[in-house]
């Protein structure tokens, strides 16, 4: 076996979760409300009646869940901190909740006792409701970045003596577009969705995107300046994004569309953060003055920041077909259609338990290599996974046998090996999504539709899938909260062992 088919011996792997999806205990020990608490209790329901009030009850059962991590052989665990559990009202002058600090102290200490490395995400979409009420939350670029910096500093101060791996934001694209354009995620603002009562889909997502970029930048500068010298950790951001191939390989317009879609998806955040420059030119050309400008002071902050790694959340790939004419002012795709088969009728990949998620390991390799060559930072795959076909209606005994997920993991790990060994990409870790079946506030309801024009005002965005699709490697019985390992969880250690050895050098 040559080095192109193996992972480095120090490759880090484990599982990922998010606070609101698993913790529960939303009103215990001083936790404040987040925008997801509010969103999940709207009437009529936006989440098929589901909410995170109890979720997987991880707040009371984390030791049991960490027993699973040990059983599965995980080296690392990525979890998010609930901002409103740390600072219930969220603001930089608001009091810190010591009970919330103590909860995450217990989590971190329990992981370390087991020899599992904690990876902490500061923000996984659960903005304190207090900030949304006070000044519009992410719609206020100046206030939100200052409050996020203070929240980040509290976490560095209280947990940084044990946490060496930090992720500032999870998928700012999702927060911006689904929270403020389509209205399908909290806080549900949209001018194109009939079920939303406020918002401007032409302007708000771009404001929110800038607020998150500047919040990330301030959190990175604070860590690098005041904490990294003594704590010795690293800090990055997790960006989602599909890989796009042209619908018609012979049409330069479709080739341009594929590239443009990835610029709207990834370059929107990665260009300012990693290249320390303005948004991609194709965004400027299409969006005009809807896209905020960076001031000279903001550009200086971008240049001062140094983000250590690129966190990649990847699930699937698609084809891009160009559209003629001018884009609608609410278009966030880049004036194109997203399709799952190309001009010749070839499918992009094997369908999973969700219509939008196809298994495309060869395109995953292209995605990894492209991102590394563009941005030049070590990559950690911070989310990757799938639900199996029909899994949402299976019993526990049926669901624990998950051959589709096993194939998905195995083929995607092979693509990582090839991107490292043959393409020269630096990829240093992998987190399977997710440790547990959980509330589908995350990529379980990432909506991919065939064309922008097909989306009608009254059903522009599917609402959350609630507790439907199961992404976990552990089956969760939502009535008893009993956890049962699936075969994929028990086989992942073997998959990594087979691919991991000391790299031979000449």
Known catalytic residues are 171, 383
Burial category of 31 from C-beta neighbours within 10 Å (exposed 0-12, middle 13-18, buried 19 and up): buried
How many CA atoms, within 13 angstroms, populate the side-chain half-sphere of residue 226? 14
Would you give the DSSP letter of residue 280? P
- Residue located via tokens 């992404």: 471
Would you give the DSSP letter of residue 233? -
Q: Quickly count: other Cβ atoms within 10 Å of residue 216's Cβ.
A: 29
Q: Quickly count: other Cβ atoms within 10 Å of residue 461's Cβ.
A: 22
Angle at 36 between CA 30 and CA 39, to 5 degrees: 125
Q: In what order do the strands lie in the sheet with 317-322?
A: 243-246, 317-322, 336-339
Distance separating alpha carbons of residues 122 and 143, to the nearest angstrom: 17
Is residue 481 within a helix (H) or strand (E), and if so which, with residue range? none
Helix/strand/coil for 492: helix
CA neighbor of 327 nearest in space, from 288, 281, 293, 292: 288
Would you give the DSSP letter of residue 504? P
In order of 244, 245, 324, 460, the CA distances from 344 in angstroms are 16, 13, 21, 29
Distance separating alpha carbons of residues 489 and 409, to the nearest angstrom: 10
- Using the Cα atoms of residue 494, residue 496, residue 501 and residue 506 in order, give the sign of their dihedral: positive
- Residue located via tokens 């991919």: 448
Cis peptide before 364 (omega within 30 of 0): no
Distance separating alpha carbons of residues 180 and 191, to the nearest angstrom: 9
Would you give the DSSP letter of residue 472? -
Helix/strand/coil for 307: coil
């Amino acid at each position: 076996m040559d080095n192109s088919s193996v992972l480095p011996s120090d490759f880090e792997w484990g599982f990922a979760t998010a606070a609101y999806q698993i913790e529960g205990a939303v009103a215990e020990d001083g936790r404040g409300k987040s925008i997801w608490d509010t969103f999940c209790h709207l009437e009529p329901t936006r989440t098929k009646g589901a909410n995170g009030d109890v979720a997987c009850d991880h707040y009371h059962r984390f030791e049991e869940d960490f027993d699973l991590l040990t059983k599965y052989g995980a080296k690392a665990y990525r979890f998010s901190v609930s901002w409103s559990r740390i600072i219930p009202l969220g603001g930089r002058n608001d009091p810190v909740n010591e009970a919330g600090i103590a909860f995450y102290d217990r989590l971190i200490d329990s992981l370390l006792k087991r020899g599992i490395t904690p990876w902490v995400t500061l923000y996984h979409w659960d903005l304190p409701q207090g900030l949304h009420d006070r000044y519009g939350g992410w719609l206020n670029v100046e206030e939100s970045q200052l409050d996020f910096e203070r929240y980040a500093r509290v976490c560095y101060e209280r947990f940084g003596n044990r946490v060496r791996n930090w992720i500032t934001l999870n998928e700012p694209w999702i927060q911006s577009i689904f929270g403020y354009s389509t209205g399908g995620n909290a806080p549900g603002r949209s001018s194109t969705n009939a079920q939303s009562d406020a918002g401007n889909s032409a302007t708000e997502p771009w404001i929110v995107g800038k607020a998150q970029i500047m919040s990330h930048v301030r959190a990175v500068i604070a860590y690098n300046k005041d904490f990294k010298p003594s704590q010795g950790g690293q800090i990055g951001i997790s960006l989602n994004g599909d890989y796009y191939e042209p619908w018609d390989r012979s049409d330069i317009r479709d080739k341009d569309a594929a590239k443009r879609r990835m610029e709207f998806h990834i370059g929107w955040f990665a260009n300012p953060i990693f290249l320390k420059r303005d948004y991609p030119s194709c965004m400027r050309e299409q969006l005009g003055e809807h896209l905020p400008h960076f001031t000279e002071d903001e550009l200086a902050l971008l240049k001062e920041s140094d983000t250590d790694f690129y966190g990649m959340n990847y699930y699937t790939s698609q084809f891009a077909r160009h559209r003629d004419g001018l884009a609608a002012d609410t278009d966030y795709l880049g004036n194109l259609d997203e399709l799952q088969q190309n001009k010749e009728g070839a499918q992009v990949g094997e369908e999973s338990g969700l219509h939008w998620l196809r298994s495309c390991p060869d395109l995953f390799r292209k995605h990894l290599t492209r991102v590394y060559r563009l941005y030049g930072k070590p990559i950690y795959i911070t989310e990757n996974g799938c639900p199996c076909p029909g899994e949402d209606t299976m019993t526990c005994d049926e669901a624990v046998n998950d051959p589709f997920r096993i194939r998905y993991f195995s083929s995607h790990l092979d693509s990582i090996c090839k991107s490292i060994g043959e393409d020269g990409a630096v990829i240093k870790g992998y987190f399977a999504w997710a440790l547990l079946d959980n509330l589908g506030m995350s990529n379980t309801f990432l909506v991919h539709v065939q064309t922008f024009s097909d989306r009608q005002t009254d059903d522009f965005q599917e609402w959350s899938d609630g507790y439907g699709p199961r992404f976990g490697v552990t089956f969760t019985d939502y009535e008893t909260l009993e956890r049962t390992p699936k075969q994929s969880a028990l086989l992942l250690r073997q998959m990594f062992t087979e691919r991991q050895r000391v790299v031979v050098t000449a």
